[in-house]
Chain A
Amino acid sequence: MTFRRTAASAVALLAVMATAPAWAEKLSIGIASEATAVDPHFHNLTPNNMISAHVYDALIGQDEKQRLIPGLATAWKPIDDTTWEFTLREGVTFHDGSAFTADDVVCTWERAPNVPNSPSSFGTYTKGKTVEKIDDFTIHVKTEKPYPLVPNDISTIYIVSDEGGCEGTTEQFNDLSVARGTGPFMITAYEPGSVISLKRNDDYWGDKPQWSEVDLKPIKSAPSRVAALLSGDVDMIDGVPTTDIETLKNRDDLTLSQGSSNRVIYLHMDQFREDSPHITAKDGGKIKNPLMDQRVRLAISKAINRDAIVERVMEGVAIPAGQLLPDGFFGVSDNLEIEKYDPKTARALLAEAGYGDGFSMTIHGPNDRYINDAKILEAIGQMLSRIGIQTAVETMPRSVFFKRASRGGEGDLPEFSLVLVGWGAGSGEASSPLKSLIHTYDKDRGFGASNRGRHSDAAIDKMIEDALATVDDAMRQDLLAKATEMAMENLAIIPLHYQVNTWAAKKGITYPARTDEHTRAANVVKE
């Protein structure tokens, strides 16, 4: 009996060994978006930054929840109101063997905002800051005014070498002649449209990746990406379409990983025009813009059944939202609740505001930008119609939508009355959406750049500006949370849900979902 049991377990063990996949050290990932270059400073765009993170390091890294972690700097602290001191990591070498020192940081800082032909430069992050070398492994970053987000901004700038990299042109980065960073991988091939090949950097200063070679293959068409995974062309894919998640979940040769992103999907409402272009009385006559009335905005928020949208439209793959960022991010408020679905109160509020008979409105949104964007908007249209707001829905490609939504109307003003948009907090904390979406539109000072409803409240503005000048973390957290609470109370915007991103991989490969939607091969682990 004992013998048989041993034999049986030996067989079982053999079976396990036989079925355990023979792992090639090579990993191939099908990615949904393609970088426009492999120059880390050419285009400040998520797909590009994601590739840069493989090959280059910044002084400060962002972990999977976008919390700041030591990168090429081991420590940083403010030494007075306008100066930050960074202690650099010693003993780090670039892929060509040259040593990393403060000189590389100084010259990178010069290069990053000044790349010719850049469609979106890193000047957004370098602006107003100067880098000064103190010794080989200490730098000071000086700002004009007290500014707490220095570490966040620093974490977006990937460091290139002062031997070649800083003088390199985008073309030289693309042909790989100067593409040498300090990151976990070296780039060995860049074929636009087909593959980016990486090789492990065996001298990497941090945790070395498990993969000796990685291929990143852009496959934009979602069904093709899923098919590539199923057929074994690639080992892992990102951007799994919500419609396929159920099917993939039920297969035992695949594992899925999911996590909430830093992207909130929300509604912006015209709050600055007495006569809003897409709102009329039910008979087509002119009326005063009802969206200026806070009660109407609250009625709209209460009319929206967020749970139903998440369940039906998003197939369960989203998280209902009550503010600008999901729990766990810096600057979110603990006191905010998700608005409850309550059409009865919504009707009462409309009546109280003098729109008991409802009104007629066309709402707009993109149809190729966010997960299921057009379907969400249609659902909202129906929900609003139910409380008496006769709603028509119009969606369009993002290439047309965003211009019209931002400055398509008369005098370069936003054209629409109510739009569905999304916002991903690149800095991983609440000042990013507050500054761009909630703060009064102020062209000269760079506030409210994406405030398409032109909500404006001096008290909130003050609080955001104070937060952006408060270096103390605890105080800033309070200010950001308070500003968020006031904005939500005003219904400056109506948050709907946070997007959830899904990755799928062969069994045995796991990926910790990142809130910034990056797919990073260095973090992919095999069990």
Chain B
Amino acid sequence: MTVFVIRRLIQAAIVVLLMSMIVFFGVNVVGDPVDMLVSPEADQAEIARVIRDFGLDRPIYEQYWYFMKGAASGDLGNSFIFGQPALKLILHHMPATLELAFTALLMAIILGIPLGLYAGLYPDRASSKAIMAGSIFGFSLPTFWVGLMLIMIFAVWLGWLPATGRGDTATFLGIEASLFTRDGLSHLILPALNLALLKISLVIRLTRAGAREAIQQDYIKFARAKGLSTGRVVGVHLMKNIMIPVVTVLGLEFGSLIAFSVVTETIFAWPGMGKLLIEAILQLDRPIVVAYLMIIVLLFVVINLVVDILYSLLDPRVRLGEQGA
């Protein structure tokens, strides 16, 4: 077991190292940040100074070496345009993104599972067909368009909700979030719904498919024959079994909600990490892009590592298979 874990750790370290190379070199071959930074009025001497100060005149492997040296001590470099540590900037923007992703996930669960279950239990009803048709729209409409439509309808026409930005925050149980204020929640609903739409559709389809399959199985028939109430059959016997794939998928999707809520954050001017990333890309603020991707790589590597270890604990075949190979 220890050998297995150590081997996995080494593999994870290699993945991180390789990714750091790909990310760093990939980001550094595109364009030139100097022209994004200096004022157009600047003369050649000033341009040369900026190139020198930011180390852009050094060969790329040397820049990479400095980056790795810093990274080893937890310093992922300073943002070109903000002049602050990239890591600090990203962490500063993280809570806004986390609360958005969390709310979207919650919406996906609260709306997606009951609707999917309903559509799975009563597939022939017109309402079920409407739900399934709706989920196709949720899948296929582009996020930015849906976001703009949400703003048009709920903010501009109806005037119920604010169009952009994050609301007031409050601190509860040591967590500062806009979830705890009325103003904050009203700002949160539209972007969270926008972000959740695709996930809701996904959960609806997964739940429906699971329910349709499970309902035919013998253990359900037995449960019914035993005289259990429909509520118990559905709520306990059916749910338990169809939840496994839903939970697995949602776990993975949560990662991508955090990492790539770029479009939603841009449209709703949400001050999260995604907006920071897209602006860094547009302005070639390389340290932020690199630091961001490194954090995401690390996040996914850790998730996978934990999953692998859990699998090997749960399923001896994984361990044995590895040793045999």
Contacts and interface: CB of A to CB of B under 8 A. Distances in A.
Contact of A436 (B40, B54, B148, B166): B40
A447 B42 CA distance: 10
Nearest to B268: A224
Interface in B274-292: 275-276, 279, 282-284
Interface in B59-106: 78, 80-84, 89, 92-93
A432 to B, nearest CB: 7
Contacts of B152: 227
Given A36-B81, A195-B165, A231-B159, A223 B148 contact: yes
Interface string A170-208: 110000000000000000000111110000000000000
A48 B103 CA distance: 34
B38 A227 contact: no
A80 B270 CA distance: 55
B50 A120 contact: yes
Nearest to B263: A221
Contacts of A219: 164-165, 269
A118 B78 CA distance: 11
A119 interface: yes
Interface string A57-85: 00000000000000000000000000000
Contact of B32 (A44, A403, A450): A403
A43 interface: yes
Contacts of B31: 397, 399-400, 403
B50 A399 contact: no
A124 B46 contact: yes
Contacts of B184: none
Contact of A231 (B30, B33, B35, B151): B151
Nearest to A118: B83
A443 B42 CA distance: 12
B83 A170 contact: yes
B156 interface: yes
B292 to A, nearest CB: 14
Contacts of B165: 194-195, 217, 219, 228, 233
B41 A432 contact: yes
Contacts of B38: 119-120
Contact of B266 (A36, A220, A443): A220
A44 B33 CA distance: 15
Interface residues of A, number: 56
A290 interface: no
A119 B80 contact: yes
A233 B39 contact: no
Given A124-B42, A217-B165, A403 B159 contact: no
A218 interface: yes
B162 interface: yes
Interface in A222-270: 223-225, 227-228, 230-233
Contacts of A195: 165
Interface in A1-54: 30, 34, 36-37, 42-45
Interface string B218-257: 0000000000000000000000000000000000000000
A406 B40 CA distance: 12
Contacts of B283: 399
A124 B47 CA distance: 10
Given A217-B165, A233-B162, A403-B31, A120 B267 contact: no
Given A117-B78, A397-B31, A194 B36 contact: no
A231 B148 CA distance: 12
A450 B165 CA distance: 38
Given A194-B166, A449-B42, A403 B35 contact: yes
A399 B148 CA distance: 27
A426 B39 contact: yes
Nearest to B44: A443
Given A120-B38, A228-B163, A426-B39, A221 B266 contact: yes
A390 to B, nearest CB: 29
B214 interface: no
B146 interface: no
A227 B151 contact: yes
A277 interface: no
A124 B282 contact: no
B264 to A, nearest CB: 11
A124 B30 contact: no
Contact of B42 (A120, A170, A220): A120
B296 interface: no
B34 A403 contact: yes
A193 B148 contact: no
Interface of A: 30, 34, 36-37, 42-45, 116-121, 123-124, 170-171, 191-195, 217-221, 223-225, 227-228, 230-233, 368, 397-400, 402-403, 406, 423-424, 426-427, 432, 436, 443, 446-447, 449-450
Interface of B: 30-47, 49-50, 53-54, 78, 80-84, 89, 92-93, 148, 151-152, 155-156, 159, 162-166, 266-269, 271-272, 275-276, 279, 282-284
A-B CB proximity, top 7 nearest: A446-B43, A193-B271, A403-B32, A402-B35, A231-B155, A117-B83, A119-B37
